[in-house]
Amino acid sequence: METAAPNYLLIIGGVLFVMLNVAAALIWVERRMLALWQDRYGPNRAGPFGLLIIAADSIKLFFKQDWVPPFSDKPVFVLAPAIVVISVLLSFVVIPFAPGIVVADLNIGLLFFLAMSSMGAYSIILGGWASNNKYSLLGAMRGAAQMISYEVFMGLALMGVVLMAGSFNLREIVEAQRGLWFFIPQILGFVIFFIAGIAETHRLPFDIPEAESELIAGFHSEYSGMKFGMFFIGEYMGITLISCMLVTLYFGGWLGPDFLPPIVWFIIKVVAFLMIFILLRASMPRPRYDQLMEYGWKILLPLTLVNLMITAAVVLWMEG
């Protein structure tokens, strides 16, 4: 126990450092990968493999004029982009990256993640409302409806995992996956959580709150400079977070054959999911807004309930 105190600072600092850098690096990774899958070159001029595009992009974001529209609601306008980054960063608190590498081993880890992801909805709503702009408001309304609906299936899909592991603690959930990763018995829950995760981070194909081609940029049309950067970084950290959760809940977290250390297994799995997220963006068309809602409430909700009932019945049967 006596080593706990110094370790904490190291872990917190390490997680913050890695997550912010991963979010920045994803700018380059995403653009290169999109280019690869679409038969183009992508950014390849600045530095080796175009890696310096990250520096160029961040410098551009920092030095752009940071304009607060005079017709906006200023305090809310400034607050909104901060909320998404704070809520996503707070979610990383409960993720067990490897045995011992976790900031807070909360007993309600999974619920904490759900709570933080529901707080993330505020940044879209408030950002769009405070901008006082038609397109922003439309984006915010779509975003609010989308995030509230998909949160329901997200939470319900996770309950299957909770039933099988018998705990909300993410470390215990990973430990419970020794022998069989949960994505085999919980394949339905996995697919639904994955879809809901894309909708929660409003990534393509579900980027309906932004939808450049119909709403300009949706809720962040009026944002510029680093305030836009916050939404941008928040989105990248959001997909990293969903990838981490998918790995932790369904793909055995840090578990893997012994020849590599646990943290390496975790990173490999997360990177694989990040690539899937980018591949989805490269290949899928955006559904219409009503299609998204109908798909959610008419297909995903009954499926999650069926999944939950079957899982509960099987768990009861196995126990008794």
Partner 1 sequence: MELTFYIAAAVATLATILTITRYNIIHALLYLVVSFLAVAVVFFTLGAPFMAALEIIIYAGAIVVLIIFVIMMLNLTHEDVDKEKEWLTPRVWVGPAILSLVLLAELAYIILAPDTQPTEALVAVDARLVGMSLYGPYMLGVQLCGILLMAGIVGAYHLGRQKKKVVHRFLQPKEERSAAI
CA-based R_g, the chain, Å: 20
DSSP letter (8 states) at residue 67: P
94 binds partner 1 (CB under 8 A): no
Among 53, 89, 141, 215, binds partner 1 (CB under 8 A): 141
| Position 140 contacts partner 1 (CB under 8 A) | yes
Check binding of 119 to partner 1 (CB under 8 A).
yes
| Closest of 99, 106, 107, 102 to residue 10, by C-alpha | 102
Angle between helix 4-37 and 225-250 (nearest 10): 100
User: Among candidates 185, 196, 191, 192, which has minimal Cα distance to 161?
Assistant: 185
One residue of 89, 95, 126, 239 binding partner 1 per CB under 8 A: 126
Q: What is the 3-state secondary structure (H, E, C) of 83-123?
A: HHHHHHHHHHHHCCCECCECCCCCCCHHHHHHHHHHHHHHH
- 200 within 8 A of 245, measured Cβ to Cβ: no
Q: Is the peptide bond before 205 cis (omega within 30 degrees of 0)?
A: yes
> Of these, 52, 56, 111, 255, which contacts partner 1 (CB under 8 A)?
111
Least distance CB 129 / partner 1 (angstroms) = 5
* Tokens at 86, concatenated: 């704070």
How many alpha carbons lie under 13 Å from residue 110 in its C-beta half-sphere? 23
* Least distance CB 128 / partner 1 (angstroms): 8
Residue reference for tokens 């928040």: 234
Stretch that binds partner 1, among 32-40, 140-148, 185-193, 242-250 (CB under 8 A): 140-148
Residue 81 sits in the site that holds partner 1 (CB under 8 A): no
- Contact between 302 and partner 1 by CB under 8 A: the answer reads no
Per rule CB under 8 A, count of chain residues that contact partner 1:
30
Mark residues 148-187: x for contact with partner 1 by CB under 8 A, - for none.
x--x---x------------x-------------------
Q: According to CB under 8 A, which one of 54, 89, 137, 217 is a site residue for partner 1?
A: 137
Per-residue binding string, partner 1, 257-296, x by CB under 8 A, is: ---------------------------------x------
Q: 258 forms bridges with which residues in the sheet?
A: none
Beta bridge partners of 128: none
Binder of partner 1 out of 92, 97, 112, 228 (CB under 8 A): 112
Residue 122 binds partner 1, judged by CB under 8 A: yes
Buried-state track 34-47, b at ≥16 Cβ within 10 A, e below 16: bbeeeeeebbeeee
Q: Which residues bind partner 1 (CB under 8 A)?
A: 73, 75-76, 79, 106-108, 111-112, 114-115, 118-119, 121-122, 125-126, 128-129, 137, 140-141, 144-145, 147-148, 151, 155, 168, 290
